Structure 1
Amino acid sequence: MNIKSLLIGSAAALAAVSGAQAADAIVAAEPEPLEYVRVCDAFGTGFFYIPGTETCLKFDGYIRFQTDFGRDKSGTSDWNSFTRAQFNIDTRTDTELGALRGYIGLRGDANNDSSRGVNVDQAFIELGGLKVGYYYNWWDDGLSGETDILSSNKTRLNAVRYTYDAGSFYVGVAVEELEALRSTSNLTGLVKGGSFEGPNNVGISGIIGAKFGGVNANLLGGYDTDQENGAIRAIITADIGPGTFGLSGVWASGANNYYEESEWAVAAEYAIKATDKLTITPGAQYLGTIDIGANNDFVGDRDAWRAGLTVDYKITQGLSAKVAANYQDVDGPNGDSWTGFVRLQRSF
């Protein structure tokens, strides 16, 4: 065999081996593109897009430990502690009809060995100005301190409402399912009279409000169709000096689900922003004609007043403390009492 034949044979063998390797090669599939979580800033902080959708999602909530104080707060004990867990799920999507919102709030309270389980705190749907579901109504709002009593009974209801909000001006109307009135007032130890019907009552509320710089004001009315009585409440707050001054007045034609504490009442407070972390809020309220007659009318001349102090302190980011103490004096024997609470809350 000469050199020329050897070179030709080697080249042929190398070509054959290379061809076999090319035929047997495994080609790896291209990886799927990874979609990272995107921040959604259209509805405020904390929202992100659900991957693969245009729906924004937000989780938040808090853990609260609180000890309440007051006469016979728990049986014959003058204090009672509990722990609460709150978890909220908020979803929002831009649509051709406006922002579509779905909200679920879950809450569980634990009182030593007695746990009430996890319950629905709120669950509602919003589209534009329309809101339907189970949620806190306008009567749940009040002054920022812990002294005023500006509503009665349950303020978390199944309801349908519509609100037109023009920014500095808003107006709304709601139809609400009212539950049975209770027989005990928000005034500590005061038993209410009157004759009240059962649940599945219907109520109608309307509100009108405005914002002018540091001033916020609204006028709220509610009518209880079963009791054929209603209530009107006004609240105004204004930034004055180092804090915010709040003033409210309420009047009821007779005992009703929205307000049955008294025929009329006035409340005031001043939330002092002492530092970036500390807010001190003194407040007071006077309630005129607190007794209810057989026809659910307010009768007699007994009255009551309350005064108290609320202290809010931001310990660090996401951790805050609140302390409230109130003194109450109701006409009659043993009408004076102290109530309050100490709260530690981790929010996220």
Structure 2
Amino acid sequence: MNIKSLLIGSAAALAAVSGAKAADAIVAAEPEPLEYVRVCDAFGTGFFYIPGTETCLKFGGYVRFQTEFGRDRSGTSDWDSFTRAQFEVDTRTDTELGALRGFIGFRGNADSGVGGATAGTSGNQGSGVFVDQAFIELGGLKVGKFYSWWDDGLSGEADVLSTNALFNSIRYTYDAGSFWAGISVDELEGTNAGFVTATGVIDPVTGLEIGTQEADNNVGITGGIGGNFGGAALQLIGSYDVDQEEGAVRLIATAEIGPGTLGLAGVWASGANAYYAESEWAVAAEYAIKATDRLTITPGAQWFGNVANRATIVTAGGDEFSGIITNDFSNRDAWQAGITVDYKITEGLSTKVAVNYYDEDGADTDQWNGFVRLQRSF
């Protein structure tokens, strides 16, 4: 065998071995591509896409500590402190029928001690966690538990322009940007529990007037229109309480004037009803002064014409019951005036202080009321 034949054979052997080893080699699989969270800017800041979907998600809420003082405080003290936690989940998706929204707002009120008022009420006293809002919205249609147009008041804390504003409702709103109009059907169960009808008959044992508790299982209808005109805005709403067979109408107007915003409001009720039962009529005014980028000072006042009659009566079952007498409003007037101070301490942390003075004709109810609040929002 010559050297040439030996070299050719060796090269062939090496090629065969290399081919066999290449066939047996393990090829590492490429890693799956990572799906990072994407920002969703279609519905405003704070939204992001849920991975693997086209649904946008946003978390929000706040933690609040507040001390209230004055009338309507619980127990024998004229002041009350509580802590509140609010957590909100907002989901939105673009569909062929418009934006589809689902919203859940959880609220927890933490008062001193254990228990107290029912957690599902809007009062601050008591401890418990409940669903504050939960609704579905598609285009202009909105169904679920949410705050009605009656919750849209002036920015200060010196006015009382609604009695109840949170219902299970079915609402449709036409929104053209600078103009809107809508109608809502509201469940009023639980809102008329404090209404009673007086009979004029005195119970010989207690000396209290005998009365009957009003029905509390019906519905209400609300209609509203509004618009924005440059630096001014206008809102007119009207509601009818089927239980009480009474209604209420309210008008709110705001305009940017000078260094602040002027707010005016008026409300009228045919009788005490779930939407407004404070007085037969009322007018309110405020001026929110933007002193600095962080400080807003809002003086305000309200006049109550023919305030609601409130009394303790004896029901047909013999139990004492305190509530609003629905037969008619009184002939007493009242007024309230005060100031609200909002200050942004830093990003996400703010404080609010409200001080008001209330005076009612012919009644020993003139006194100071208000609150001090510290809130961390996110």
TM exceeds 0.5?
A: yes
Q: Which amino acid aligns with 2:27?
A: V
Check the 8 A contact 2:157/2:354 in 1, yes or no.
Answer: yes
Check the 8 A contact 1:195/1:296 in 2, yes or no.
Answer: no
- Shift in Å, 1:5: 5.6
**Residue pairs, 1:192-271, within 5 angstroms:** 196-271=213-288
Whether 2:47 is the aligned partner of 1:30: answer: no
Give the one of 360, 364, 369 matched to 1:339.
369
Q: Which amino acid aligns with 1:220?
A: I
Per-residue displacement from partner, 1:154-190 (whole Å, max 9, x unpaired)?
A: 3211000111111111111100000342539xxxxxx
What residue number does 2:137 align with? 126
What residue number does 1:328 align with? 358
* TM-score (normalised: structure 1): 0.91
Q: Which amino acid aligns with 1:85?
A: A
- In 2, Cα distance between equivalents of 1:287 and 1:23: 93
**Residue pairs, 1:262-341, within 5 angstroms:** 262-292=279-309, 296-341=326-371
Q: Please, which runs of 5 or more residues in structure 2 have no aligned partner?
A: 116-126, 196-209, 311-323
2:171 is paired with a residue of what secondary structure? strand
Check the 8 A contact 1:180/1:197 in 2, yes or no.
Answer: no
- Shift in Å, 1:335: 1.6
Identity across matched positions, percent: 72
Check the 8 A contact 1:180/1:198 in 2, yes or no.
Answer: no
**Residue pairs, 1:18-167, within 5 angstroms:** 18-71=18-71, 73-114=73-114, 116-152=127-163, 154-167=164-177
2:78 is paired with a residue of what secondary structure? strand
- Shift in Å, 1:112: 2.5
- In 1, Cα distance between equivalents of 2:215 and 2:346: 46
* TM-score (normalised: structure 2): 0.84
Cα distance change on mapping 1:72 and 1:86 into 2, 3 Å: closer
- In 1, Cα distance between equivalents of 2:72 and 2:264: 31
RMSD between aligned residues? 2.1
- In 1, Cα distance between equivalents of 2:325 and 2:360: 22
Check the 8 A contact 1:180/1:201 in 2, yes or no.
Answer: no
1:22 is paired with a residue of what secondary structure? helix
- In 2, Cα distance between equivalents of 1:92 and 1:81: 36
- In 2, Cα distance between equivalents of 1:133 and 1:173: 14
Q: Which moved more, 1:22-31 or 1:10-19?
A: 10-19
- In 2, Cα distance between equivalents of 1:37 and 1:10: 58
- In 2, Cα distance between equivalents of 1:299 and 1:96: 51
- Shift in Å, 1:331: 2.1
Q: How many residues get paired?
A: 339
1:255 is paired with a residue of what secondary structure? coil
